[in-house]
């Protein structure tokens, strides 16, 4: 629009003519917005607010009297406040390039003054301190002309041909070289160890590979050998199985033949032997029975003969009493007792004779005989065998 002016974001619009600006300035300052400006009656100029750069190359003498060539770079700009814009506009609006020239001169003077109060060692080792002191000393002067410094960088410090800085850095260079050599030796050693380790690993890998190949080759050879032996082994197993079957068949045939022999020979022989034994036992039993029957017959005949002779024996015993003096005290009872004693004595004699005839030599208890149970045994009341034992007929007196 005609008469409406707008400054750029990094510019300040200075309007002169008409009423004065802030603080009696000959112009008004407009930033960040536009404004109507009457042509012919008002005049508009623009002041840059962007960053500017100034380079300083200066020869400075240190506290030790050693000349140093110092190169520094200053980054600065016009301040954003109205006062700084007014100060910079009044000084640099017609020739804004002079801001860099003047800034370089200001910093060169402060740089010479500060380096003159420091040693080379301090300057070399404490560049940041040097830059901070230069900024502090130049801040007031820069503010007066409306400029602010963003940074100051000391780019290089050189002593020319004096060789002071080089001599000063020699121990450090030697240490650095020593460290570099040590590092190089360590790197070489590490490389050699790495190579040795790699060679060892390669050898180990080759050994393992050879072992694995040998194992595989052995397995292949064993498999091939097993395959080659499979046929003969199978035939041998088959023959062994045939022999085993034949052996089992022969054993079974032998067992069967043994059973047949047992059935044909042993069993009939055992049956015949049993038959003969039974016949022998039967014959022995028969002969025993016959012998017992014969013995029994002989005893019966003997007993019969002895019984037939008993009256004669009693008679002979009684004959012994014919001359004896016998006193009968109790009459008929006494006579009966005497007769009974005679009979008993006769039976005892009969028993002794029969035992002698049998010939067995066995003594039987007194008072017992095989004929006691015979129906021919004679016992009288009041008979006492002890009265007749040990006495002969006719001996002594007998009383009843």
The residue from 169, 191, 212 where one domain ends is: 169
CB 170 within 8 A of CB 156: no
How far apart, in whole angstroms, are the C-alpha atoms of residue 120 and residue 130? 11
Residue 60 lies in a domain: yes
Residue 186 lies in a domain: no
Greater confidence (40 vs 281) lies with: 281
| Surface-to-core class of residue 293, CB atoms within 10 Å of its CB (0-12 exposed, 13-18 middle, 19+ buried) | exposed
The residue from 107, 138, 169 where one domain ends is: 169
Of the pLDDT bands very low, low, confident and very high (cuts 50, 70, 90), residue 388 is very low
Q: Which uninterrupted H or E stretch holds 88?
A: helix 82-92
pLDDT score of 323 more than 60 = no
For 356-393, letters b (16+ CB in 10 Å) and e give eeeeeeeeeeeeebebeeeeeeeeeeebeeebbeeeeb
Which among 59, 61, 78, 2 is positioned nearest to 34, based on CA atoms? 2
| Surface-to-core class of residue 344, CB atoms within 10 Å of its CB (0-12 exposed, 13-18 middle, 19+ buried) | buried
The residue from 103, 138, 169 where one domain ends is: 169
Residue 116 lies in a domain: yes
Each residue's pLDDT tens digit, 351-360: 666 666 555 4
**Total structural domains within the chain:** 2
CB 84 within 8 A of CB 146: yes
Strand partners for 54: 74
The sign one gets for the Cα dihedral 279, 281, 287, 289 is: negative
Residue 307 lies in a domain: yes
Residue 283 lies in a domain: no
pLDDT at residue 155 in the model: 87
How far apart, in whole angstroms, are the C-alpha atoms of residue 318 and residue 36? 212
pLDDT score of 71 more than 50 = yes
Average pLDDT over residues 314-340: 57
Residue 130 lies in a domain: yes
Residue 199 lies in a domain: no
- Rounded to 5 degrees, φ, ψ at 72 are -135, 155
Residue 204 lies in a domain: no
Reduced 3-state DSSP string for 294-332: HHHHHHHHHHHHHHHHHHHHHHHHHHCCCCCCEECCCCH
pLDDT score of 49 more than 80 = yes
Domain with 149, as residue range(s), is 51-169
Residue 142, domain CATH: 3.30.479.30
Of the pLDDT bands very low, low, confident and very high (cuts 50, 70, 90), residue 82 is confident
Q: What pTM was estimated for this model as a whole?
A: 0.41
Strands 35-36 and 4-5: what pairing?
Answer: antiparallel
């Amino acid at each position: 629009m005609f008469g409406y002016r707008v400054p750029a974001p990094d510019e300040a619009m200075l309007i002169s003519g008409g009423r004065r600006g802030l603080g009696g300035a000959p112009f008004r300052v407009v930033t960040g917005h536009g404004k109507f400006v009457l042509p012919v009656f008002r005049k508009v100029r623009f002041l840059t607010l962007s960053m500017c750069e100034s380079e300083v190359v200066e020869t400075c003498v240190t506290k030790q009297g050693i000349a140093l060539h110092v190169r520094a770079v200053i980054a600065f700009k016009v301040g954003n406040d109205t006062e700084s814009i007014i100060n910079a506009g009044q000084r640099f609006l017609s020739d804004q390039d002079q801001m860099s020239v003047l800034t370089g001169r200001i910093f060169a003077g402060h740089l010479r003054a500060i380096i003159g109060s420091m040693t080379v060692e301090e300057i070399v080792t404490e560049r940041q301190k040097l830059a901070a002191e230069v900024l502090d000393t130049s801040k007031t002067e820069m503010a007066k002309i409306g400029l602010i410094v963003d940074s100051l960088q000391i780019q290089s410090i050189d002593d020319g041909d004096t060789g002071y800085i080089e001599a000063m850095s020699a121990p450090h260079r030697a240490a650095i070289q020593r460290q570099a050599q040590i590092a190089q030796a360590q790197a070489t050693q590490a490389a050699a160890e790495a190579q040795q380790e790699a060679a060892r690993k390669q050898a180990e890998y080759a050994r393992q590979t050879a072992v694995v190949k040998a194992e595989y080759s052995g397995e292949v050879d064993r498999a091939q050998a097993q395959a080659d032996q499979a046929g003969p082994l199978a035939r041998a197993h088959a023959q062994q199985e045939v022999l085993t079957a034949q052996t089992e068949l022969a054993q079974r045939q032998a067992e069967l033949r043994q059973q047949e022999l047992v059935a044909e020979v042993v069993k009939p022989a055992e049956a015949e032997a049993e038959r003969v034994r039974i016949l022998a036992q039967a014959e022995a039993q028969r002969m025993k029975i016959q012998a017992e029957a014969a013995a029994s017959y002989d005893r019966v005949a003997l007993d019969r003969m002895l019984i037939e002779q008993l009256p004669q024996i009693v008679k002979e015993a009684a004959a012994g009493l014919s001359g004896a003096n016998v006193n009968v005290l109790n009459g008929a009872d006494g006579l009966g007792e005497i007769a009974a004693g005679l009979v008993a004595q006769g039976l005892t004699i009969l028993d002794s004779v029969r035992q002698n005839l049998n010939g067995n030599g066995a003594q039987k208890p007194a008072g017992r005989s095989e004929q006691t149970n015979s129906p021919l045994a004679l016992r009288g009341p009041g008979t006492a065998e002890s009265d007749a034992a040990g006495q002969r007929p006719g001996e002594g007196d007998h009383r009843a």
